[in-house]
Amino acid sequence: MAEPTETPQNSEPKIKVALITGITGQDGSYLTEFLLSKGYEIHGLIRRSSNFNTQRINHIYIDPHNANKARMKLHYADLTDASSLRRWIDTIAPDEVYNLAAQSHVAVSFEIPDYTADVVATGTLRLLEAVRSHIAETGRTHIKYYQAGSSEMFGSTPPPQAEDTPFHPRSPYAVAKCAAHWYTVNYREAYGIFACNGILFNHESPRRGENFVTRKITRAVGRIKIGLQSKLFLGNLQASRDWGFAGDYVEAMWMMLQQEKPDDYVVATEESHSVEEFLEAAFGYVGLNWRDHVVIDKRYFRPSEVDNLKGDASKAKKVLGWKPKVGFQQLVKMMVDEDVETAKREKVLVDAGYMDAQQQP
């Protein structure tokens, strides 16, 4: 169970309440599962969309009318709408706030830079201000805030990258994340808010979005293995990243907010692998040669590349007692296994005539 918050004498310990932005994303779904296992009550903020995008949390969703069992509730809000953020902060009165929402695709941020900055940078400021105003009016000074940072903030700064490594962002997304980082530091120092930055290096899983390179690769491996696809189009194969498992990293988020003092932490595996190495591991796992299927397409090269990200997580290990449980090879196999099964289900639809197998070359 979650640690009890302050309650009047002779009353039952109060269950901790967490507010999560970006709850429908990869990290949001894993964090929700983790906090539910700790006994938390979860409130997630979601954007209104014509299509439901809750597939990552459908397996843990319980209709709110089932009040005795529904410990996760969803509310409409947006980081671009300050009034909705303040309203839900006041209504929910959370003990912990996790800001995971973002336009998080680096390449896409070059296409929609204004929107990326509005959501990632200014959206963080709006949420921090909502928390500050709530604390000022209610006196609930025990509220703790987690800000999702990114290794992309380091950009062209050579590895290994630690908490005191200078930032040199190389994309609109990374620049916006730097602003969010410093907004969080500023509100911690100016207003005494318990606010932490988690500088998480790349973290993947079977729930990763299909337009991120790791999932794009494993998705293609599954389809190629089953016979639904023959080619995979990629950009820079020499880019190296520190890839970990998202399920491990959300535990570090929670650990940061359980400390006596707020601080900033790098979360990483401390290993770096190139996209080519990921290809070797993923295709090799199912007995395929990636060179027979991968085609380089210049459209996937970024205007400014980030060559190598490799984290130094010694502070998180020492202070939080955190360390990754899933290694690189295990992560790749986990993702490939899931996507092979997905491709098998897809093939059933193709064979029955419900889907066109030629949608991709």
**Which residue is listed with tokens 């197998």?**
357
The answer, yes or no, to whether residue 223 has pLDDT greater than 50, is yes
Please give the Cα distance from 167 to 182 (Å, whole number). 11
Greater model confidence, 171 or 71: 171
**Residue 5 banded pLDDT, cuts 50, 70, 90:** very low
DSSP state letter for 201: P
Strand bridging mode 294-296 / 232-234: parallel
Q: What is the average per-residue pLDDT within 182-186?
A: 98
Q: Per-residue pLDDT tens for 316-361?
A: 999 999 999 999 999 999 999 999 999 999 999 998 988 887 666 6
Using alpha carbons only, what angle is made at residue 56 by residues 216 and 1, rounded to the nearest 5 degrees?
A: 130
Assess contact for 236 and 276: CB atoms under 8 A.
Answer: no
Work out the burial of residue 303: count CB atoms within 10 Å of its CB; fewer than 13 is exposed, 13-18 middle, 19 or more buried: exposed
As its CATH architecture, domain 17-207+243-271+305-326 has 3-Layer(aba) Sandwich (3.40)
Q: What is the average per-residue pLDDT within 1-22?
A: 69
Q: What is the average per-residue pLDDT within 200-217?
A: 97
If we measure between CA atoms, which residue out of 280, 277, 268, 281 comes closest to residue 309? Answer: 268
Enumerate the domain spans of the chain.
17-207+243-271+305-326
User: One-letter amino acid identity for 258?
Assistant: Q
Tell me, what's the pLDDT at 19? 98
Assess contact for 309 and 240: CB atoms under 8 A.
Answer: yes
Tell me, what's the pLDDT at 12? 61
**Residue 88 banded pLDDT, cuts 50, 70, 90:** very high
Assess contact for 158 and 166: CB atoms under 8 A.
Answer: no
Q: What is the average per-residue pLDDT within 10-32?
A: 90
End-to-end CA distance of the chain: 50
What average pLDDT is seen over the chain? 94
Helix, strand, or coil here: 162? coil
The answer, yes or no, to whether residue 10 has pLDDT greater than 80, is no
The answer, yes or no, to whether residue 3 has pLDDT greater than 70, is no
- Residue 71: half-sphere exposure toward Cβ, Cα within 13 Å: 18
Tell me, what's the pLDDT at 53? 85
Tell me, what's the pLDDT at 359? 63
Tell me, what's the pLDDT at 206? 98
Q: Per-residue pLDDT tens for 107-150?
A: 999 999 999 999 999 999 999 999 999 999 999 999 999 999 99
Which are the contacts of 267, defined by CB distance < 8 A and separation ≥ 6?
198, 199, 200, 201, 203, 244, 249, 252, 311, 313, 316, 322
Q: Which of 55-59, 218-222, 252-256, 265-269 shows the lowest per-residue confidence on average (mean pLDDT)?
A: 55-59
At 251, which helix (H) or strand (E)?
Answer: helix 246-256
Torsion angle of alpha carbons 178, 188, 254, 211, nearest 10°? Answer: -20
Q: Per-residue pLDDT tens for 309-318?
A: 999 999 999 9
Q: Per-residue pLDDT tens for 227-248?
A: 999 999 999 999 999 999 999 9
Q: Per-residue pLDDT tens for 90-108?
A: 999 999 999 999 999 999 9
The answer, yes or no, to whether residue 1 has pLDDT greater than 50, is no
**Residue 66 banded pLDDT, cuts 50, 70, 90:** confident
For the chain, how many helices (H) and strands (E)? Answer: 11, 13
Tell me, what's the pLDDT at 361? 64
Give the residue numbers annotated as catalytic, written as ranges: 150, 152, 173
Which are the contacts of 50, defined by CB distance < 8 A and separation ≥ 6?
none
Please give the Cα distance from 189 to 361 (Å, whole number). 54
| Measured CA distances, 194 to 12, 189, 214, 241, 280 (Å) | 25, 9, 34, 30, 43
DSSP per position, 216-241: HHHHHHHHHHHTS---EEES-SS-EE
Q: What is the average per-residue pLDDT within 20-36?
A: 98
Q: Which of 11-15, 83-87, 285-289 shows the lowest per-residue confidence on average (mean pLDDT)?
A: 11-15
The answer, yes or no, to whether residue 182 has pLDDT greater than 60, is yes
Tell me, what's the pLDDT at 50? 85
Tell me, what's the pLDDT at 2? 47
Two tokens, residue 40: 């938390």
